[in-house]
Chain A
Amino acid sequence: MKTRDIFTVYFKELRDTLRDRRTIITMFVLPTILMPTLIFGFGFIASKVVRQARAETPTIMILGAASSSAVRSALEAHPRIRVVPAADDYRTRISDKTLRAAVELPDDFDAALARGEPAQVRIYYYEGELKSGFAAGELDRFFRDYREKTLQARLDSRGLPATLLRPFDVTRQNVAPPEKVGGNLIGGFIPYIIILLCFTGAMYPAMDLTAGEKERGTMETILCSPVGRTELLLGKFLMVLTGSLSTVVLAGVSSAITIPLGGLLFSRGGGAAAAASAAASGGTMPLIDPLGLLACFVMVLPVAVLFAAAIFTLALFAKSYKEAQSTVSPLIVVVILPALAAMLPGVELNAKLALVPLLNVSLVCKELVSGVFQWDLLALIFGSTCVYAAGALALAVRMFNREDVIFRT
């Protein structure tokens, strides 16, 4: 094997690819702007929408409570809601978003409370609609406070202590370090993104260097050169691998810069992102073990080789770029499914799953970002993925040497 020939082909393909706008966008631009777009763009919009929703004083309708002026007055005096006159079409108005929520009370609500009898309060709102949800939340809080005050008044009137109905308090204390919390929350998402980027990064150069070359007529030109088919394939393969890895690395670097910046920006601004993440983690900002993240990239190396070789082989059969696209694109489903399966609750890494391609890497990456290093399983996964990658590469070499594949008509 002539290494010089491999690199001659590789550097030519690199130069050629760097001049292709379509590949540049997929390989470099998209992965670089993906995270900033998600964090700043999506985060900014989400934050703005939530802020606007919170700033609005929701319109509320009181149904019933005809002879319950106390509760009605308390509701009307609440500064964060605006009571509108009752009407029969409250459901339609909530659906049409002209009314945010309605609360239904028995006519004798005040009297029932005074008698110590149970009373039912029903809140109507539109599930999934942000502003309606906020309105229902306000009503929830109002009636929780109202219940507490009623309870306190009853205990006071009987000279009983508050601890009678609340003999003890329960608090929860998180013992997991922030990176474990982060790993569990977003650990499944990270390998999913990495694997997907790894695949899309390989896809376009692989199709361009095989079916694209056949279509443009340059494949026959290069096959007439004295370079061996294996060297030619390896040069092209290295380019595809470069595409795959550069996509992942660029996305990684971009994320490493964007995520902390985004966290800082939104937490300073008291935005939704900070609130959401803090709420989701029980008050702890999720962190990722940086060593684990680095280990993820190492584990993804043989996956990139596997993808590059597999896509290259498939695209080689196609006669045109378009045909290659329709052959290779469905493969995304095959790639995404194991990565998604790794996100399912209860799917834990074991020796058997360590041999299932892609699922094994997805599962182990989830553990790695949480700071868990199971060295025996890591070795098994890395080794088995290397074997699959070598198999795929050997298949690519074999196919590239088949004239019925190269000159398929």
Chain B
Amino acid sequence: MIDARHLTKVFHDKKRGEIRAVDDVSFRCEPGRIYGLLGANGAGKTTTLRLLATLLKPTAGDATVAGFGVATAPERVRASLGFLAASTALYGRLTARETIAYFGQLNGMDDALIAARTKLLADELEMHDFLDRRVDKFSTGMKQKTSIARTLIHDPAVLIFDEPTLGLDVMAARTIVRFVRDCRARGKTVIYSTHIMSEVEKLCDAIGIIHDGRLLATGTLEELRIAYAESDLEEIFVKVVTGAGKAAA
């Protein structure tokens, strides 16, 4: 489970002064559910997810991931989650198998377990043809599959996806979407950040709309439709970020 409570992140910039990238963000995501974090570029999605992944330290507020506090047990948090983002690239000079094994070792797994998990993942993701080839020679789809396997090698309870389909072609994007659904089916806690409305509609059990670092609306798609008297998610999103307000009850 992920439980974020009043998460705040302030950056200090010499030119722009104080920047509140994440401002008092609270939400909860249960196992077996996908929480979609929807926002425009620069809304604060990536910073929120980096706080949850303990890559950044919160200025205020707290969060627990799989029961571990991001401030008190960051290494336990990272051991419990898989983080996949457009910005998390692979080592081009390693093979897919070496990449997967490396992340298994970093997660404290022994060689036998790594080998077994690698076989399982390669079967599921149909990776056997390129498992022993170097990543820098891969197509985008092959890289995505390798990234997924790298993320799942230690079978984490929590998965965080930060715009995972950014820059991917339709086929590669579909692989990701299918994989995210599988994670939910296996009872994983999933956070999915994107600015693509259709992906949110297809995947997410609950949605949080983030803008200027603040979580302005949260609920299921149905709850948001009722609250904003709109059936189209894009219209809901525009209403939320422009402050057009909720429909009268």
Contact = CB atoms under 8 A, between A and B. Distances in A.
Interface of A: 5, 8-9, 12, 15-16, 19-20, 216-218, 220-228, 403-404, 407
B168 interface: no
B106 A8 contact: yes
Contacts of A221: 88-90, 150
B72 interface: no
Given A226-B108, A407-B56, A15 B98 contact: yes
Nearest to A8: B105
A217 B88 contact: yes
Interface stretch (B27-35, B77-85, B237-245): B77-85
A220 B106 contact: no
B102 to A, nearest CB: 5
A222 B106 CA distance: 9
B55 A407 contact: yes
Given A226-B108, A403-B57, A217 B94 contact: no
A295 B227 CA distance: 78
Contacts of B92: 216
Contacts of A15: 93-94, 98
24 contacts: A12-B91, A12-B98, A15-B93, A15-B94, A15-B98, A16-B94, A19-B93, A217-B89, A218-B90, A218-B91, A220-B85, A220-B89, A221-B89, A221-B150, A224-B55, A225-B107, A226-B75, A226-B79, A226-B106, A226-B108, A227-B75, A403-B55, A407-B55, A407-B56
A217 B81 CA distance: 19
Contacts of B198: none
Contact of A16 (B93, B107, B150): B93
Contacts of B53: 224
A20 B89 CA distance: 17
B103 interface: yes
B87 interface: yes
Interface residues of B, number: 30
B90 A224 contact: no
B56 A403 contact: yes
Contacts of A228: 75
Contacts of A224: 53, 55, 78, 81, 83, 88
A226 B106 CA distance: 7
A121 to B, nearest CB: 71
A407 B53 CA distance: 14
Nearest to B92: A216
Interface of B: 11, 50, 53, 55-57, 75-76, 78-79, 81, 83, 85, 87-94, 98, 102-103, 105-108, 134, 150
Given A217-B87, A221-B88, A226-B79, A5 B94 contact: no
A225 B103 contact: yes
A8 B102 contact: yes
A40 to B, nearest CB: 33
Contacts of A226: 75-76, 78-79, 106-108
B106 A5 contact: yes
B108 to A, nearest CB: 7
A204 to B, nearest CB: 14
Q: Which of B76, B85, B92, B105 has the most CB of A within 10 A?
A: B105
A224 B92 CA distance: 18
Given A404-B11, A407-B50, 11 more contacts: A12-B94, A12-B102, A216-B89, A217-B89, A218-B91, A220-B87, A221-B88, A221-B89, A225-B106, A226-B75, A226-B78
A223 B94 CA distance: 18
Contacts of B94: 12, 15-16
A284 B215 CA distance: 83
Question: Most B CB atoms within 10 A — which of A216, A221, A228?
Answer: A221
Contact of B93 (A20, A222, A223): A20
Contacts of A227: 75, 106
A20 B55 CA distance: 28
B106 A16 contact: no
B78 A225 contact: yes
Contacts of B91: 12, 16, 218
Contacts of B90: 218, 221
Contacts of A404: 11
A16 B98 CA distance: 10
A44 B107 CA distance: 56
A227 B89 CA distance: 17
Given A15-B94, A228-B75, A403-B55, A218 B89 contact: yes
Nearest to B77: A226
A288 B9 CA distance: 61
A15 B78 CA distance: 25
A220 B88 contact: yes
B44 to A, nearest CB: 14
Contacts of B85: 220
A15 B134 CA distance: 12
A15 B92 CA distance: 12
B161 to A, nearest CB: 12
A20 B136 CA distance: 12
A223 B75 CA distance: 10
A297 B50 CA distance: 44
A12 B81 CA distance: 22
A321 B98 CA distance: 24
Contacts of A218: 88-91
A9 B79 CA distance: 16
A12 B88 CA distance: 17
B48 to A, nearest CB: 14
A218 B81 CA distance: 17
Contacts of A5: 106
A247 B17 CA distance: 45
Nearest to B53: A224
